[in-house]
Structure 1
Amino acid sequence: MLTQLRDVRGYPGFTSLAISRFISNVGNGVSPIALAYGVLSLPNSTGKDLSIVMAARFVPLLAFMLFGGVIADRFQRNRLVGGSDMIGSFLAALSAISLIVGFSSTWLLALMGALFGILNAIWWPAMSGVLPEILPKEKLQEGNAVIGLTTNFGYILGTLGGGILVSTVGAGWGLLVDAISFFIAGAIVWNLPIIGKVKDKSPGIIHDLAAGWKEFISRSWVIAMVLSFALINMAFESMLSVLGPLNFNDPVSGPKQWSYNLAGLSVGMLIGGIWVLKVKIGRPLFLAMILIALSAVWDFTLAFDSHIIFSVLASVISGISLEVFMVTWNTSLQSHVPEESYSRVSSYDTLGSYGIAPLGIVFAGPLAMHFGVNTILFVTGGVTLVASIASLLVPSVRNLRND
């Protein structure tokens, strides 16, 4: 593993990118805990309010995602990523101050989330194309794995610290840590030593979108995975954003218990990242989707109200599955999709994969209030299990290789 680390570290900009992901994800680890329990701490708030706030950033993210992909393929990607992070830090800071001072509301937090979603629509496709501008194709799996490791180290620190911060000094201070981490990470990425490639002059946005769509639909394995993850992400985001915090809803012990679960998820991702860094996977998506099917154990463990030890262990399994998938998926796209249209294909991927996730988040709270949190957790676990297995019925998913 140390050999792979030394290899990728030698490429200009890689170490700075890894550091920025660590710093950003310290804040990202704190953010979901702080935001969820910040909403639940508002007067008369319910699961419905939590659903509104958590879904708010997804709608504009998806609405502007294709536009973000076109921008990312036209302009210097690290500047788009850094600029989005730094602007987003001010939105997170406003949410934090509103909770600290006491003028916050469900709709203010939802508005800040929606604006952040617009920035994220630019950030996401641009970020996915930064690493291929630093590393050659044969180093992408190692690079993605190392970035995943630094990301998960940061996320573990953030989730454990987030639970303590929220339960002791309050959710607002947790969001303030998130805002600071975003600004620092954005400044680092903005100054990466990347000289943007000269882009061919495009006939226009419609032409760019059409060209990206042609690349996207030309691969059956991409279509199959996006359709499967439309359902998987709807279930996962509902559990992660709404059902998990509602399952641990005690104002004193809840934030810590949920933070232990999120830390377990990150520890699992760390383990998965170390493992995938050391091995060459012959059929990456075949293995990844088997693991994603196994990740449903986290939903089921929460649904049975198992002891915290068992839910944390289940979250570790889910984390391993998620990280192996993320590394293999990013490497597969980066290996098989031309660099000049990569961000547009990535934006179509994100739009399809997360297209119905907001519906899951919006309805998760009200459905949990009506049928019970445990019942809806059984549903999310079942959806993940069935959708994962269904993807393996497609031969190109089972047989894809990144040689």
Structure 2
Amino acid sequence: MITGLGNSGALIAAAFAVLASGGSGTDVGLVAAARTVPLVVFLLVGGAVADRLSRHRVMVAANALNCLSQGVFAALVISGRAELWQMVVLSALGGVGHAFFAPAAEGMVLSSVRGEQAGRAFAVFRMGVNGASIGGAALGGALIAAVGPGWVLAVDAAAFAVAGALRAFLDLGGVSPREPGGGLLGDLRDGWREVVGRPWLWAIVLQFSVVNAVVAAAEAVYGPQVAEEHLGGARPWGLALAAYGVGTVLGGLLMIRWKPRRILLAGTLCVFPLALPSAALAVPVPVGWLVVAMFATGVTLEVFGVTWMTALHQEVPEEKFSRVSAYDWLGSIALVPVATAAAGPVEELVGRPAALWGCSVLVLSLTAAVLCVPDVRNLARREAVGEAVVASGPSVDRPAADQPTVKVPSGGSGEGAASAS
């Protein structure tokens, strides 16, 4: 959460640092893309490494790389000597660090939880992450206005240093050591088999590869334009985004108490409301209704996020968490740069309202398609979630005559907003 608090503000600070150096909107996009591309390229390697080595050490190394890159970025900006190519390279290093950090962090969270309290633990974890993201963005914006983007980047570098130091002293004596696999490529193939061997897993990852992309295009490209032309500018759009953040926190509170029996059925039904913001922008509706739509989206998406983490924790072997998480992350973000780049040309071709309605239709149709997968509808919560997974298939609700709770493996599994969530 410490790194999340600083990093959220630093992402905003990087954009303003580019503008302060005389850069254009295209330059801002280039620096942002420089962080995303290595994240996509190195995610699978990061997942395999995190399953071969101690996850917390991988996280410490990633924190150290991010601390170094952000510290140099801050020094260049504060000194007024930052050039575009330097900011691109340093942003790319930040993306590499995140590619190794994210799978290791998710694998560590999943492996550290035991028993039937897993769902509540994941809800609390996601509340902390979301709260840090919301608070970091707000604090970062205020600090940029007060002291400039360079000092916000320096704070982020310090946050990485503190987080890495705290993780370095974690007592992980209770975590069983993992045996090395058959090489990096072998580990990646093994992780791929874990994914494709579970229809519920690859179906939802494919779903969110498109859903995340169209939601990002709607909110990052079309939303600000609609707000500027029809809703009164940046302030009401910021209010709508804040309502989404509040919704995620309340969704986390809900999931502390609610433990649905059919975890993926409940979670997937809660994906349908993601179509609401695009539809609201397409009309466009008054600000009050947009705020309601964004709030509802935040609540329901958090329900999905917790059920998704619970399903991964229950069904994926512990020693393969990070590799599966890496494939999940890769599927969840790979199309986001493509969608945001294509949003403008699509708007010119069919018009903004049609493009936004198309986003909503894609969310609804893909979510309905995922519900056609039997294991998505039937994957059931086991009471002893912390027990070792003994087969690679999901447990499903069945009639009493067909009692086994773990499906025989059929083959050799993208914040979850996390990952598919």
With the length of structure 2 as denominator, give the TM-score of the two structures: 0.79
Counterpart secondary structure, 1:396: helix
* Segment drifting more, 357-366 vs 264-273: 357-366
- Partner Cα distance (2:145, 2:280) in 1: 24
Please give the alpha-carbon distance, in whole angstroms, between the structure 2 residues aligned to 1:372 and 1:272: 34
Cα pair 2:110 2:321 within 8 Å, conserved: no
Is the Cα–Cα contact under 8 Å of residues 145 and 277 in structure 1 kept in the other structure? yes
Residue equivalent to 1:3: none
The alignment partner of 2:376 has SS state of helix
What letter matches 1:291 in structure 2? C
- Structure number, greater radius of gyration: 2
Distance 1:302 1:360 in 2: 17
Provide the rounded CA distance (Å) in 2 between the counterparts of 1:384 and 1:231: 8
Give the structure 1 partner of residue 67 of structure 2.
89
Q: What is the CA distance between 1:133 and its match in structure 2?
A: 3.4
Choose the corresponding residue for 1:234, options 213, 236, 253: 213
Alignment of structure 1 residues 123-138 onto 2, 5 Å = 123-138=101-116
Aligned residue number for residue 318 of structure 2: 339
Q: Confirm whether residue 282 of structure 1 aligns to residue 250 of structure 2.
A: no
Number of the residue aligned with 2:295: 316
Q: 1:400 pairs with 379, 394, 398, which one? A: 379
RMSD after superposition: 3.1
**1:269 Cα offset (Å):** 0.9
Q: 1:27 to 1:306 in 2, by over 3 A?
A: farther
Which structure carries more relative contact order (alpha carbon 8 Å, separation 6+)?
1
Q: Which runs of 5+ in 2 are unaligned?
A: 383-421
> Are residue 350 (structure 1) and residue 329 (structure 2) matched?
yes
**Partner amino acid for 1:222?**
L
CA–CA distance in structure 2, aligned partners of residues 190 and 365 of structure 1: 45
Per the TM alignment, residue 95 of structure 1 is displaced from its structure 2 partner at its CA by 3.6
- Counterpart for residue 166 of structure 2: 188
Q: 1:341 to 1:290 in 2, by over 3 A?
A: same
Partners of 1:338 and 1:287 lie apart in 2 by 23
Asked whether 1:62 is paired with 2:60, we answer no
Does residue 293 (structure 1) correspond to residue 272 (structure 2)? The answer is: yes
Paired AA for residue 395 in structure 1: P
Deviations 1:275-331 (A, max 9, x none): 011011122222222222202222333445555544443322222122112111111
Contact 2:50 2:104 in 1 (8 A): yes
Q: Does 1:202 align with 2:181?
A: yes
> Matched residues in 2 for 1:30 and 1:197: separation?
36
Distance in 1 (alpha carbons) for counterparts of 2:220 and 2:311: 28
1:159 aligns with 2:137: yes
Deviation of 1:235 after TM superposition, in Å, equals 1.8
Q: Is the 8 A contact 1:286 1:397 kept in 2?
A: yes
Q: 1:51·1:363 contact (CA, 8 Å) conserved in 2?
A: no
CA shift, 1:107, in A, is 4.5
**1:258 positional shift:** 5.1
CA contact (8 A) 1:37 1:255 kept: no
State the match for 1:144 in structure 2. 122
Q: Distance in 2 between matches of 1:374 and 1:122?
A: 39
Mapped to 2, the partners of 1:104 and 1:311 lie a distance apart of 39
Deviates more, 1:105-114 or 1:279-288: 105-114
Residues in 1 aligned to 2:347 and 2:73: alpha-carbon distance in whole angstroms: 26
Distance 2:157 2:186 in 1: 37
Cα offsets for 1:142-165 (capped at 9, x unmatched): 211111122223233223323433
| Between 334-343 and 285-294, the greater mean CA deviation after superposition | 285-294
- How far apart are 1:366 and its partner, in Å? 6.1
Partners of 1:51 and 1:361 within 8 A in 2: no
Q: CA deviation at 1:400?
A: 1.4
Question: What is the distance in 2 between the residues matched to 1:308 and 1:163?
Answer: 22
CA offsets, 1:48-83, max 9 Å, x none? Answer: 444433332222112111111111111111121132
Superposition deviation, residue 229 in structure 1: 0.8
Cα distance in 1 for residues equivalent to 2:72 and 2:243: 30
**Does structure 1 residue 120 correspond to structure 2 residue 120?**
no
Name the stretch that deviates more: 378-387 or 282-291: 378-387
Q: CA deviation at 1:375?
A: 6.0
1:54 alignment partner AA? A
Calculate the TM-score normalised by the size of structure 1: 0.82
Of 306, 323, 326 in structure 1, the residue corresponding to residue 305 of structure 2 is 326
Give the match's secondary structure for 1:57: helix
Instruction: Specify whether residues 358 and 364 from structure 1 end up closer, same or farther in structure 2 by C-alpha distance, changes over 3 A only.
Output: same
User: Offset at 1:87?
Assistant: 2.0
Deviates more, 1:82-91 or 1:159-168: 159-168
What amino acid sits opposite 2:296 in the alignment? I
Aligned partners of 1:32 and 1:241 also within 8 Å:
no
Worse-superposed segment, 256-265 or 342-351: 256-265
Aligned identity (percent) is 34
Q: 1:239 to 1:134 in 2, by over 3 A?
A: same
Structure 1, residues 224-273: CA drift from partner, whole Å, max 9, x if none? 101101101212333455555566679xx977655544432221111010
SS at 1:52 equivalent: helix
Task: Give the letter for the 1:30 counterpart.
Answer: G
Q: Distance in 2 between matches of 1:368 and 1:101?
A: 40
Q: Distance in 1 between matches of 2:218 and 2:83?
A: 23
Kept in 2, the 8 Å contact 1:51–1:364? The answer is no
